[in-house]
Chains A and B, each alone.
Chain A
Amino acid sequence: MLETICYWLVGIGLAFDFFGCLGLVRLPDVYNRAQAATKCVTLGTCMILFGVALGAFGGVSVAMGVKALLCAMFILLTSPVGAHAICRGAYLSGVPLWEGSAEDAFKERAERIREEEIEELGEESGVQREKAQAS
């Protein structure tokens, strides 16, 4: 009985993962693709790990189950952060939104961040130049 539940959990998890990958192919731009990749793949992978943990608690070893649960927790915590970092980085380095996009509120803020970064870089290179001159 328990084994059947485990196999079902792993199977459903795989199905979610599959749809996440399908989204990666079918959706138009980086940001939409990242959405499909984070949501489906996070839940799918967590379900696979949960199925493994349940099976391990039922027979193989408790240590394995605990490790699987810990992995699930870390994926749940890190994958949204990763998606955020990838998308923010993509936007700041100039990847355009899909042409069918309805709105873009991030443009001004992104330009401000870029200007700040350029200023910082300028200061750093200025400091280096001064150092070079001093030496």
Chain B
Amino acid sequence: MKRLLGFVGALLLWLLLFWSLNIWVIAAGVGVAAVATALLGSIAPDGLERVLCLRRVGYFLLYLPYFLYYCVRANFDVMLRVVHPDVPIRPGIVKLPTTLKSEMAKTFLANSITLTPGTLTLDIDGQDMYVHWINIDTDDVKKRTAEICGRFEPMLRRIFE
């Protein structure tokens, strides 16, 4: 099932890149997609097919603008720090617990954290995340978790779990 999904995804990508429905383009696409799936199918994450459910896709579409807002905010945040004459940073690596279970959800959480204000995921170890934070403003673990993971966790749980 997950290999089939990978195959369809690869074929779709091929057709979008070529933007033509010529019979030879489709034939070559089927071949390339089959090879790619055969080589890489084993590393596809488990539970990929669950994402196909309509409710999850809906939440994902909701998640995109929400994420984009934080992404733009992150950019202005970094921009201000960079052009400020004193470069106001207080960096460090912090350890945060996450409540998400599935690998896909954790991957998306890590990527979202990397693209949002002042944080960069270094490593994930089970339920612990190691995050480089450019401006540590509190010593309380709960506040930190709420500030960094809390924004995305509820929505990602609805999408992937």
* Chain A positions near chain B (C-beta within 8 angstroms): 16, 19-20, 22-23, 26-29, 31-32, 34-36, 38-40, 42-44, 62-63, 66-67, 70, 76-77, 80-81, 83-84, 87-88, 91, 97-98, 100-106, 109
Contacts and interface: CB of A to CB of B under 8 A. Distances in A.
Interface residues of B, number: 38
B80 to A, nearest CB: 9
B140 interface: no
A38 B13 contact: no
B6 interface: no
Interface residues of A, dominant DSSP: helix
Interface in B61-110: 71-72, 74-75, 78-79, 81-83, 87, 89-95, 110
A105 B118 CA distance: 17
Contacts of B74: 39, 43
A101 B17 contact: no
Given A39-B74, A66-B17, A84-B123, 20 more contacts: A19-B82, A22-B82, A26-B82, A27-B87, A35-B120, A35-B132, A36-B78, A43-B71, A63-B20, A67-B16, A80-B110, A80-B115, A81-B111, A83-B114, A84-B114, A103-B92, A105-B130, A106-B93, A109-B123, A109-B125
12 contacts: A19-B75, A23-B81, A23-B82, A32-B89, A35-B120, A43-B72, A44-B75, A63-B18, A63-B20, A84-B121, A97-B91, A102-B90
Contact of A36 (B82, B90, B123): B82
A38 B16 contact: no
Contact of B19 (A62, A84, A91): A62
Interface string B107-151: 000110011001111110100001010101000000000000000
B132 A31 contact: yes
B82 A84 contact: no
Contact of A88 (B82, B83, B123): B123
A70 B13 contact: yes
Contacts of A31: 91, 93, 120, 132
Given A19-B79, A22-B83, A80-B110, A66 B16 contact: yes
Contact of A70 (B16, B87, B125): B16
A35 B130 contact: no
Contact of A38 (B72, B114, B123): B114
Most chain B CB within a 10 A radius of its CB, from A23, A27, A28, A39 = A39
A83 B87 CA distance: 21
